[in-house]
Structure 1
């Protein structure tokens, strides 16, 4: 890839030291992972916590649960905050990679999970495994971080995080996946043609369209899960 087309990522912003909490307390409150990005348990999004959420300027909430939890983990302020509800089981065989684009997508604060205009709280039941994995993936893709560095950054601010072993393996695989997708997006049509066309004369020789490149990224996700 040309020098001008190398992937560039923003620097990781710092949080305020006085926002860090003890290991015991972090199981009951949300923690600021980045300015405007909070991670916590469901108890941090209950009705009694509305004044705290408003004081921190939260405008968006990512609620992580599975069907059997829907009766007790639910959006409590549908008219106050914008919600993204994800059906994810805290199970090592759950394919959590497929949810990463949704968390960073257009439905979550105009394609930015964390920004000054719309602070976001990400919560599951305990704020330890599923929601933590989503936040780690966001840091990896947004700031070009390796899994171990993103994990360490989140754990320093919320000590009790512990993604299950299946999520850890998927996060480790995700680095290659998101880098490949970003590289494809940055390549010119001519570069794409050179990268994805078969040698002249071979059956089925053609250039991939941009739409097909998205399918190629999806195939990588499937391959990572089946590998």
Structure 2
């Protein structure tokens, strides 16, 4: 049924949104759709939630990051381990999907952290890449502050590498 001038949108489209050739972001419903997982050859699922399910396939590695979408949650402590897992999976030719309930805040934050660490992007650049791939991304204020802190930490680490004796 269509109302004049208002398109019938139906249920939200199921999709895995490509951030890089080896990294996807989505909501939980899409990430748990076997056809999509197979279509994109996903080999690792990073579930950034305490309650959302994992895909049923036992062939896929799974990593849970148990946080709520709450600005007071400490997602920062998972940035390095998640970024490393995404990088390691890509180096083996694998594909990772990072998801949370709605694919907006928690999963986006992890994807941005990965791009900052391994693609050497600024927070603004990394956020633009993720938002371009999935327009609804919107890390909550606490996660954004943690990403700002991570950006400074990564700059500090890079400075230590640049200034190391040769």
TM-score by length of 2: 0.83
Structure 1: state its 5+ residue gaps. Answer: 1-23, 192-227
The 5-angstrom pairing of residues 173-188 of structure 1 reads 173-185=149-161, 188=164
Q: 2:34, 2:57 within 8 Å by CA — same for their partners in 1? A: no
Aligned to 1:89: 68
Are 1:45 and 2:7 matched, yes or no? no
Structure 2: state its 5+ residue gaps. Answer: 1-9
Q: Which has the higher strand share?
A: 2
Q: 1:35, 1:115 within 8 Å by CA — same for their partners in 2? A: no
Residues 51, 176 of structure 1: alpha-carbon distance in 2 compared, 3 angstrom cutoff: same
Write the distance in 1 (CA, Å) between the matches of 2:64 and 2:90.
17
CA RMSD of aligned residues (A): 2.3
Q: Aligned match of 2:125 in 144, 149, 172?
A: 149
Residues 65, 158 of structure 1: alpha-carbon distance in 2 compared, 3 angstrom cutoff: same
Aligned to 1:129: 105
Residues 122, 26 of structure 1: alpha-carbon distance in 2 compared, 3 angstrom cutoff: farther
Task: List per-residue Cα deviations over 1:98-136 (Å, max 9, x = no partner).
Answer: 11011023xx25x43545710111001111000000001
Write the distance in 1 (CA, Å) between the matches of 2:149 and 2:63.
25
Instruction: Name the larger-Rg structure.
Output: 1
SS at match of 1:62: strand
